[in-house]
Amino acid sequence: MTINLQKYPTVAAYAAKTGEPKWFSELRIKALTAAANLELPNFGKIRYQRWPIQLKKELAYQSSDPQLLADLKLQSAKHLIVQLGQTTVKQVGLTKLAEQGVIVCDWLTALKEHPDLIKKYFMQQAIKYDQDLLTAQHVAQLTSGLLVYVPKNTVLTEPITSYFVQDATQSQDFVHHVILVAEENSQVSYLENLTTIGEQSTTASIVVEVIAKAGSHVKFASVDRLGANTTTYLNRRGHLSDDAKIDWSMGMMNDGNIVGDFDSDLVGAGSHAEVKVIAISTGRQIQGIDTRVTNIGKHTIGHILQHGVILSRSTLIFNGIGHIIKGAKGANAQQESRLLMLSKKAKGDANPVLLIDDNDVQAGHAASIGRVNAQQLYYLMSRGLPQKIAERLVIRGFLGPVLEVIPSDSIREQLKDTIERKLVDGQKDE
C-alpha cells in the first residue's frame, strides 16, 4: 500500500531536505505507526523505564560545524571515516577499499547508491524494526549511520576505523545505525569510537547489525564514551551463519545513563561468538548491560566475559544470558560476570542466566561482586604509592583478564588509555 507522505509533513520535509528515497520514508512511517502499539523492552533488574530514553524530538536535518572536532585526537588509521552528528567530515583510504569491492559509506549515501543492500539487511535478520518501542522509534527518527560491506572471499588485513561524534552543542537526539555485512569466507576488523561534544541534555539511540555469512570472521571492537548528559540506548546485534565467528570487544566508558543490549544469534552450525565487555561507572550514573548469546545451530559456541568497576555513587548491572535452543546439539555456552566496587555507596549486580532446552551440551557460569582487596592496596601504599594510584593499579589488574584476550594490540592499547582517563575522572568525584 502506497503511503501519502504529505500526510506526514515532518517526514516529507526531512526527505526533501536530504534527498532520502521514498521507500525509506515510507518505512519510517510504518515504524512510527507501529510504535503506537509497542512497549519498552524489559531487561532483568535494569530499571530504566522512567529515563528520558524515548525519542521525542521531531525528525530534522541539522548540520554541524567541523571546527568542533579541532581538539579531537584521532588514532592513526589506514581506513577511516569520521562523522559529527549527521555530517561526514573526514574519509581516509576508502577508495582503496572500493577497488576490492568493499563498501564503506555514510547512511544517506548507502540509501541512495546501495538501496538493494539496505533493503536486504536493514532490520531483516539481526533485529526487526517493530520488535519493541525503542527499535520502532529508532527507525522513525534515524538520521545518521554507516554501511560496511565486505565481499565474498575478501580478507582485509587493516582495520576499518570509525569515529561517531554526537553533536550535543545542539538540542537534538543522536539516532545512528550501522550495518556490517561480511560475505562468505571474508575477514574484517572494525573499530568503532563513540563520543560526545557539547553538554546539552539529549537522547542517543544507536543500533548496530553485524551479519556474518558462512565461514566469515568479524572482529568488532568499540570504545564508547558518550557524555554525562546523554541518555543512551545502545543495541548491538550479531547474526551468524555456518562456521562464522564474531569477536566482540566493547569498552563501556560512558559518563551518562545507558542501557546496553548486546545479542548474538548463532544460527548456523559451528558458528562462534566471543563477547568481551569492560565497563566503568562513575559519579551517579547508571549503566545496565544485558548480554545474550543464543545457540541455535549445532556445535555452536557462545562465550561471555564481562568485568566492571563501580566508583562513587554509581550503579552497574551485568546481565549475562546463555540460551541453548532445542536442537542445538553439541552447543557450548559459557559466561563470566565480575564486578569490583570501590565505594560503599556504589551499587552493583551480576546476574547469570542459563536457559538449556536440549541435552548433549556444555554450559556454565560464574559471577562475583567484591571490593578492592585491602591487602593489595596496603602492599602498594606501603611502597610509597598514593591511595588513588594504588587503586588504579588494582583496577588494571582486575580488568587485565579481559584486556589480555582482546584479539588486537592496537585496540587493547586504546582501551587501556581510555580506562586510565575514565578512572582519573571518576576518582575526582570521590
DSSP three-state, residue 228: coil
pLDDT digits (tens, 9 = 90+) for 322-368: 999 999 999 999 999 999 998 889 999 999 999 999 999 999 999 99
Distance in angstroms (rounded) separating the CA atoms of residues 312 and 406: 28
Residue 14 lies in a domain: yes
Give the tens place of pLDDT for each residue, 200-214. 999 999 999 999 999
Q: How many domains does the chain have?
A: 1
- Within a domain: residue 213? yes
Once rounded to an integer, what is the mean pLDDT over residues 243-250? 97
State the pairing for strand pair 79-84/87-92.
antiparallel
Contact in structure between 323 and 295 (CB atoms under 8 Å): yes
Range of the domain at 156: 5-268
> In angstroms, rounded to a whole number, what is the distance separating the alpha carbons of residues 109 and 156?
22
Tell me the pLDDT tens digit for each residue of 161-212.
999 999 999 999 999 999 999 999 999 999 999 999 999 999 999 999 999 9
Query: In this structure, is residue 107 part of a structural domain?
Result: yes
Does the structure show a pLDDT above 90 at 3?
A: no
> Does residue 289 belong to any structural domain of this protein?
no
Residue 313 lies in a domain: no
Residues 6+ apart with CB under 8 A from 104: 79, 81, 94, 97, 146, 147, 148, 149, 160
Tell me the C-alpha distance between 368 and 355, whole Å: 20
Residue 192 lies in a domain: yes
**What is the secondary structure of 366-392 as a DSSP string?**
EEEEEE--HHHHHHHHHTT--HHHHHH
Does residue 376 belong to any structural domain of this protein?
no
Q: Where are the beta strands (DSSP E) in 230-271?
A: 230-240, 245-252, 258-266
* Residue 54, C-alpha cell as written in the block: 524515548
Residue 243 lies in a domain: yes
Question: How far is residue 87's CA from residue 66's CA, in Å, rounded to a whole number?
Answer: 8
Rounded to whole angstroms, how far apart are CA atoms 217 and 231? 32
